[in-house]
Each structure stands twice: as C-alpha cells, then as structure tokens.
Amino acid sequence: MRNISIDIETYSSVDLAKSGVYRYCESPDFRILLFAYSVDGGPVQVVDLECGETIPDDILSILTDPAVLKWAFNAQFERICLSRYLGYPVGHYLTPSDWRCTMIWAATLGLPLSLENVGAVIGLEKQKLKEGKDLIRYFCVPAKMKDGTLFRHLPADAPEKWERFKAYNLRDVETEMGIQQKLSKFPVPESEWMNYILDQQINDRGIMLDRTMVRQAIRCDEEFKRTHMEQARSITGLENPNSPVQLKAWLAEKGVDADSLSKAAVLQMLEKAEGEVELALSLRQELAKSSVKKYTAMETVVGSDSRARGLIQFYGANRTGRYAGRLIQVQNLPQNHLPDLDAVRTLIRDGQFEAVEMLYDSVPMVLSELIRTAFIPKPGHRFFVADFAAIEARVIAWLAGEQWRQEVFASGGDIYCASASQMFHVPVEKHGQNAHLRQKGKIAELALGYGGSVGALKAMGALNYGLQESELKPLVDAWRQSNPRIVRFWWDVDSAAKTCVKEHQSTETHGIKFHYQSGMLFIVLPSGRKLVYVRPRIGENKFGGESITYEGVGEQKKWLRLESYGPKFVENVVQATARDILAEAMLRLDAHGYKIVMHVHDEAVIEAPADSSLEDICKIMGENPSWTDGLLLRADGYVCDFYKKD
C-alpha cells in the first residue's frame, strides 16, 4: 500500500485549544496556510497556499483514495482541516479508515503525545524546530492591536519569518517520518487501528447539546452570583467580599481569626458562627461552589449543527491505553442525585431561576447536577446507555483467581455487601441485616484493590463516612486477609516484572507475560495488547526496598523517571484489560449498527431510534471476548431523553 506523510499549518480566529479542531475549522476565516507532504518516503514538498500555490491534482486525489494510507502526527487535525479545505459540509469528513496517526503509534509505546518530545526521547537526528511555537503564534493566531482590534500577520509582513515557517513545516514531516522509521520494529496491531478508526468515527459523529439549556444555565449562574454578591456587600460593607484579604480583615473586626478561607476552613468556622458572620461565611461558601466551566466549554465547543465533537482522546492514558476526555472533559462529569431531575431541568431551561432558588438549598449544586442533562439525542431518538457492572472488580478477581468473588458475580450478588460479609464474618444485606457495614465494604473495595492502605482509605473519604481513624488499619488488614489471592497476585506480578528487568528474560504469571526488548519492558495482556515501560531499571524506593523505575509522562505532562511496583502494575493491567473489553464491545455495537455518540469510563452512550431494544444492546455489550474464558461479565443499561446517571 502506498503512503503519504502530511503536515499542515493553519489560521483561524477560533481558539483551537479551547474549541477543538471541529469548531476551529468552522470559523469563516479558517484557512490552510502551508501543506507539506512526502509520498512513499520521497523528498518533502511544501505547498505555500497562502502565497498562491496550489496542491497538485495527483496529491488531492490521494486524499480521497482509500488505497493510500495518510500519515500525520495527531492525524485528526490534518484530516478534519483538509475536509474543510475540500469543501465537506459540517458533520461530514474524510473517512478515518485510511488515516494513521504517528502520535497514537508513539502513545502505544509509552512515549509522549507531542511531536517535539517524542523526537527528543527517541533521539531523532532531525527533530522538530524549537522556534515553531513563536512562528505559530505570529502567523496562525490573531494578533491584537493596542485598542484591542484583532488582525493577522501575513507573509509579506515578515518574509524571512515566513521562509523559516516553511522550513518548520517541512521539518515536521521529516520528524514524523523519522518517528515511523524508529518505531518500525514495534508496529501497531491492526486490531488497535480498528479501535482508532471507530474512535475517530465517534468523534466525527459528536453528540448533540441542548443549547437553550446551556445558555440558561450560564444565565442562572450569572444571576445567582450577582444577587449573592449584592447580599454579601450589604452584610459586610466590603467593596469586594470575594477578596480573601478584605473578608479576613472584616472577620477579624468581628472577632473571628481566619488563617484560611479554604472550603474546609469555612466549614469549620460555620459550626460556631452566628448572625452576620454566619451569613457572610454561608454566602462565601455558596459563591465558591458556583462554577459553570463545563457549560461555558460546551458553548465554546458546539458546532453550528448543535453537536459537540472531539470529546474523546484515543490512547489518552498511555500507561494503560484508556480513553481520556478532552474539551468538555466528559470523563469527570458530576453525578446527579436529584429525584426530580426532569422538573428542575425544565425550570432552568425556562428561565425560572427564582423558583429554583426557592425550592432548592443550593443553586450551584442544582446546576452541577444538571450538567449531564445538557447532552441530548437528536429528534426521534433516545439515549441507550449501557455499561459494565463492577468491571474492574470482576477483572481483578478473574486474573487473581479469587474464587469467592467469582461466586458473588456468578450469583448476581452485591460485591460491597459480599466484601463486608467476608471481612467481618457476618451476613451483610444492602437494605437488611448489618446494612451499616456495606459502606465499609464499599470504601475498602474502592481503595484497597491495588495495594492501598490507610492513606488510600483517607483519600477515598473514609473519615467523612463515619469511620474512625482507629478503624482504618484493621479495615486494611481485614480486606487483605479476605482476598489472599489478590494480594498474592500483586507480589507475583512484582516478582515477574523485576526478574524480567534484572535478567532481561521473559517471565509469566497469572496469564500475564513480561518481556524485555530494545530497552523497554513489555507487559502482554490477556488480549494480546502490550503495555510498554521505557528504559526500566531497578531502583530503591523510599522504604529502602527494590522497585522498578522507568521513563514516562508524569506530573505537569513532563517526561520523568517514575516508580512502579507490583500493585501499581496490577492496577495498570486491570484497567487496561477493562479498556480492551470496552473497545471490543464498542466494535460489536458498531457492527450491529448502533451509533455510539460518547463513552465514559466503562459506559457507552448510543443515540438510537426510540423503538430500539435496550435488551439487545446490553446483550451485545456483555458478550465475552474470545480471550476472556472464565471472566463473568454483565452489562446493564437504561434509556433516557437526556443524558444522566441512572
């Protein structure tokens, strides 16, 4: 099959980082400035579209030829921009089936998600030119005059810069081709490219937003802030009661010493506060809750056809290959617990803000719980939401061979009740005998499966759920004693990984294979997919014991040497396996004609005609992949007219 490597430089007055490429390309002033390409590894050519050159006809025909693979770093950007250049209408794009992404290839090998950083890590001879950011800032985004008027810099404004910009464009293609050559020993399996293609189709399809709902939610928040700020000014007499300095000084005058105005500190002060101090602190507490970032992100991202696109990043978590959220960040949407969700949603949508304030204790809480409901199906359709029940708990029990847990899943039992029962040696029923112990079982399950101890329980909020400090260590001990095979799994994985790194020899445990090649540790999952840890070596942990360190993307997206050990590797393996199960389920759903518009963690959101079968969707979702013999899967689902947590 023939190949073409592509890199483009573009201009648009829309902020790409905030809006995403789909909305970016809809701007009337969007244009492609430079088009660099190489066919079958030949010399890189740069077409200067901004200065009147045209893309050759044979290259234009390649863009729509399914027999030619198109390569780019972050190929979604090139594909969507070129769709607009070719005149495709909103909602229609070049098919992703014949596009391949060098960024995704790098991510599958645990490498960074930026062209510059990948080139640096793998030691390319021709690396991305560092001056590129300045050139992009000059030519690709609007500049601002002193009076605030926006304008754009043209090639004629700085001819020398423009020539350097063309050189930068050319070098990007050379760098991408260099990455392909360097990684050629470790090709991406075709099955993973199939997952990537489906991901691109889901992103191209997008999901509809209720724009009226979004606008009214923002208006409601603005009105709430205005009235509450007026109340706060009236009570305190301060010009800006939201200023920590001003409010602390006012509190000091009232005899309240406030070292901090953090959420926890305000909550503590409210326990003793009275009168106007209590009112002022309560108002600060409510104003601090007020945030409509996701609603404003929706307004920024949504296209002219009311659909938001580009919300999912394939291989966004390159330690496991899990999907990540982008733009609106659908992977961390607030949950909804309001019993009358439909009614309060209607009040907000209709602009009845005073009624909302009268009926509910906290307007910010209401707006937060309504964020999910801004996602709606297109007319004549409903959302069919299907997800895997306790997927990580099922996967770790299956891999570790923890039989009592397998029996709970086989009988359709509640794992939190069963865990509490196993730990405390008494029957525990969700709404029956010893029901109070279920919460302890739940917290233990969520916090302790990957080697967590007292710190993990605290981080999970154990002390806020009525547990005492003195109970935490016994809870850890009880959970571990109840799950000896999982504990053994942690340390068998630890031993297998260390042996592999120390001796550069292949090892295996619990069906998980480890091998060392070309300075990388590969962990082969049951699915056959590989997790990759770059330049591993044996180091010393903070307790003086051995641990494996490797290079990867750490805090603030920097390339760092990171530490891992058995339970952490197990966490990666379990989450990556759950991801592979979801990926295969989505391929099956798509093959049956079900259109996925979004997926969140282990849940698929399908936009389908109202008479579609939820039972059929859950049945397809819950099928076991061929490599999961003995794994007990179950998919549950519900139907809704706006997205929500059932």
Q: Alpha-carbon distance 542 to 520, whole Å?
A: 24
pLDDT digits (tens, 9 = 90+) for 288-311: 876 789 999 999 999 999 999 999
Q: How buried is residue 302: exposed, middle or buried, by Cβ count under 10 Å (0-12/13-18/19+)?
A: buried
Model confidence at 273, pLDDT cuts 50, 70, 90, reads confident
**Last residue of one domain, picked from the residues 370, 392, 416:** 370
**Residue 35 CA to chain centroid, in angstroms?**
31
Output the pLDDT for position 288.
82
Q: Alpha-carbon distance 385 to 639, whole Å?
A: 6
3-state secondary structure 84-138: HHCCCCCCCCCCHHHEEEHHHHHHHCCCCCCHHHHHHHHCCCCCCCCCHHHHHHH
Residues 287 and 355 in one domain: yes
Q: Alpha-carbon distance 325 to 317, whole Å?
A: 10
User: Do the Cβ atoms of 594 and 639 come closer than 8 Å?
Assistant: no
pLDDT for residue 464 is more than 70: yes
Residues 122 and 217 in one domain: no
| Alpha helices in 433-483, H assignment, sequence order | 438-448, 454-459, 469-482
Q: Alpha-carbon distance 39 to 62, whole Å?
A: 10
Sheet with 530-540, edge to edge strand ranges: 507-509, 512-517, 520-524, 530-540, 546-553, 559-564
- Mean pLDDT across 380-408: 95
CB atoms within 10 A of CB 419: 28
393 lies in a domain? no
pLDDT for residue 628 is more than 90: yes
Output the pLDDT for position 1.
63
543 lies in a domain? no
Q: Alpha-carbon distance 555 to 494, whole Å?
A: 24
Element (H, E) at 5: strand 2-11
Q: Considering the chain, what percentage of its residues have pLDDT values greater than 90?
A: 73
Output the pLDDT for position 380.
96
Output the pLDDT for position 267.
86
User: Do the Cβ atoms of 100 and 34 come closer than 8 Å?
Assistant: no
| Residues near 259 by beta carbon (within 8 Å), at least 6 away in sequence | 265
pLDDT for residue 560 is more than 70: yes
pLDDT for residue 128 is more than 80: no
- Mean pLDDT across 602-626: 97
Secondary structure E strands in 240-397: 307-308, 312-317, 322-325, 381-388
The two tokens of residue 319 are 């330690």
Residues 358 and 410 in one domain: no
> Containing domain of residue 433, as a range?
403-482
User: Do the Cβ atoms of 302 and 22 come closer than 8 Å?
Assistant: no
pLDDT for residue 246 is more than 70: yes
User: Do the Cβ atoms of 393 and 415 come closer than 8 Å?
Assistant: yes
The two tokens of residue 32 are 């492609």
Output the pLDDT for position 157.
96
241 lies in a domain? yes
Residues 15 and 124 in one domain: yes
The two tokens of residue 635 are 């998919």
Output the pLDDT for position 197.
98
Q: Which of 268-282, 349-363, 447-461 has the highest mean pLDDT?
A: 349-363
544 lies in a domain? no
- Mean pLDDT across 582-607: 97
Residues 164 and 33 in one domain: yes
Q: Alpha-carbon distance 317 to 324, whole Å?
A: 6
The residues that bridge with 520 in the sheet, in sequence order, are: 517, 534
Residues 155 and 259 in one domain: no
Residues 344 and 418 in one domain: no
pLDDT for residue 66 is more than 90: yes
Output the pLDDT for position 351.
96
| CA distance to 300, 322, 390, 408, 618, per residue, from 632 (Å) | 42, 21, 10, 10, 14
Secondary structure E strands in 235-371: 307-308, 312-317, 322-325
377 lies in a domain? no
Pairing of β 68-72 and β 99-101? parallel
Residues 149 and 234 in one domain: no
Secondary structure E strands in 518-626: 520-524, 530-540, 546-553, 559-564, 595-600, 603-609
Q: How many residues does the chain have?
A: 646
- Mean pLDDT across 368-382: 97
Contacts of residues 141-150 at CB distance under 8 Å and 24 or more positions apart, as own/partner, are 141/11, 141/13, 142/13, 150/13
Output the pLDDT for position 600.
93
Residues 151 and 79 in one domain: yes
**Residue 570 CA to chain centroid, in angstroms?**
21
Residues 170 and 230 in one domain: no
| CA distance to 119, 519, 618, per residue, from 536 (Å) | 19, 7, 41
176 lies in a domain? yes
Computed over every residue of the chain, the mean pLDDT equals: 93
Rg (CA), the chain: 27
Number of structural domains found in the chain: 3
Residues 233 and 355 in one domain: yes
- Sign of the CA dihedral running 187, 192, 196, 201: positive
442 lies in a domain? yes
Residues 183 and 241 in one domain: no
CATH assignment of the domain containing 172: 3.30.420.10
Q: Alpha-carbon distance 309 to 22, whole Å?
A: 6
pLDDT digits (tens, 9 = 90+) for 565-575: 999 999 999 99
557 lies in a domain? no
pLDDT for residue 125 is more than 80: no
What global pTM score does this model have?
A: 0.93
Q: Alpha-carbon distance 70 to 62, whole Å?
A: 9
**Last residue of one domain, picked from the residues 482, 502, 519:** 482
What SS3 class is residue 178? helix
**Last residue of one domain, picked from the residues 322, 347, 370:** 370
Element (H, E) at 36: strand 31-39
